[in-house]
Structure 1
């Protein structure tokens, strides 16, 4: 990702399948960009009400109550991270591609005009909603660049796409080639994680992930970045080539 401290104001678009995916996988990136004055827009296709809310169902809540709780959790986490939240409420398990959903995503791309996009990996054998969200995010990005698609809208440029780390990393074809130092905003990310009361079992898991990626970032940063010993990081996989005027 770009050095945001030396760049003009940027716009990050995060496309998440469910209402909690973003916080575990990209909450640090979101908080970091927001802390530097950049616009962060979060899109949750669904609340994860059917497949990722077991704790709430065990409490005896009905479908609408579960969705309400999940919405409130996502809104609280997004506010902690400094993100503008859009919930599309398309249902989950499975999320289904429709022309209407694709058109809504294209409209969001054109409205946000993102400098960079964060979303799921192409493959996730444990959760097809994640893979479909990747497919939709990539397809919408391409369509949003086409002048002939709704000619009244402003086309986007070619924002780089970064895939955030899946839960079952080794099985999803994820090869991290970007390690983002989120040490300065780790406490903000952790507070956002704690907003997700329906998935408390993941708080410790993703704390451990942040520590492991921080060790890797420290090891690979060299002396110039000066990462602290107890660094925290998030891993991403870049989709498109980086365009640069020098190798760094």
Structure 2
């Protein structure tokens, strides 16, 4: 149980509960700005506490997340990709997280086939994350849904399966918990996103908003929206600023109803 794991490894530092042992977190987004928008404060909070944090993008958002670049004369996919890669790496450096780039392409849509799912599973075995963050699997946005479902239902199970990945260089690894961050603007109610986990990012809110600035030369500036989301989540959870998640739960069998989940 992830809460049992957390309970055994937490302490209180200056009024803030922190994990006593160093853990690893992997956050996976379909496009470069997806994770910073929805979980940037959480990742920086973990990184500042001394934990090992990885942030991955499955594409460079070359067609779906680069609206402003495509308004420039003579723009091509080949020109967009290095610009977006640079933004992602600079944001990762600012956030003090380790970047991972997968050039899977988002044109016309992101597709995670078996080969790519195996590559992601191998990455999970190599990094050995205790926690994974990714997209809400019921979102209506094709790329986000493909990313979330592929991580939860393909990559994570394969990483744990000793019979999968025949040519793997690493031992199987079972992720302890997966948390799904919120869907794209306008899709909260339509996709039944009802969060059950809030992370207090009050001390990292300003840094999160600074991190998002790396992306506004390529896409529409929606910082006011995410500032509003952080305030609203804070209101819901009785802190100043927060980010929201749903824990992904697979089928589990017990003798009796568990008292901690």
- For the aligned residue pairs, the C-alpha RMSD in angstroms reads 2.1
Q: Deviation per CA, 1:132-191, whole angstroms, max 9, x where unpaired?
A: 101110111001001122365211123200000112211122110001100111121111
In structure 2, the residue matched to 1:155 is 172
2:139 to 124, 142, 149: 124
Name whichever of 177-186 and 4-13 sits farther off. 4-13
Number of residues of Structure 1 aligned to a counterpart in Structure 2: 235
Q: How big is the shift at 1:5? A: 1.4
Taking the aligned partners of 1:211 and 1:192, their CA distance within structure 2 comes to 17
Q: How big is the shift at 1:73? A: 1.0
Q: Aligned pair 1:209/2:229, yes or no?
A: yes
More helix per residue: 1
Tell me, yes or no, if the aligned pair for 2:110 and 2:146 is still in contact at 8 Å. Answer: yes
Trace 1:221-232 onto structure 2 (pairs within 5 A): 227=239, 231-232=240-241
Tell me, yes or no, if the aligned pair for 2:118 and 2:158 is still in contact at 8 Å. Answer: no
1:21 to 34, 40, 44: 34
1:36 to 42, 49, 52: 49
Q: Aligned pair 1:176/2:169, yes or no?
A: no
Q: How big is the shift at 1:200? A: 4.0
TM-score (norm 2): 0.84
TM-score (norm 1): 0.88
Q: Which segments of 5 or more consecutive residues in structure 1 lack a partner in the other structure?
A: 219-226
Tell me, yes or no, if the aligned pair for 1:194 and 1:200 is still in contact at 8 Å. Answer: no
1:49 to 62, 65, 71: 62
Q: How big is the shift at 1:30? A: 0.7
Trace 1:55-94 onto structure 2 (pairs within 5 A): 55-60=68-73, 61-92=75-106, 93-94=108-109
Tell me, yes or no, if the aligned pair for 2:133 and 2:178 is still in contact at 8 Å. Answer: yes
In structure 2, the residue matched to 1:221 is none
Taking the aligned partners of 2:220 and 2:151, their CA distance within structure 1 comes to 28
Q: How big is the shift at 1:199? A: 2.5
Q: Which segments of 5 or more consecutive residues in structure 2 lack a partner in the other structure?
A: 11-16
Moved runs in structure 1, 4+ residues, more than 3 A? 1-4, 245-248
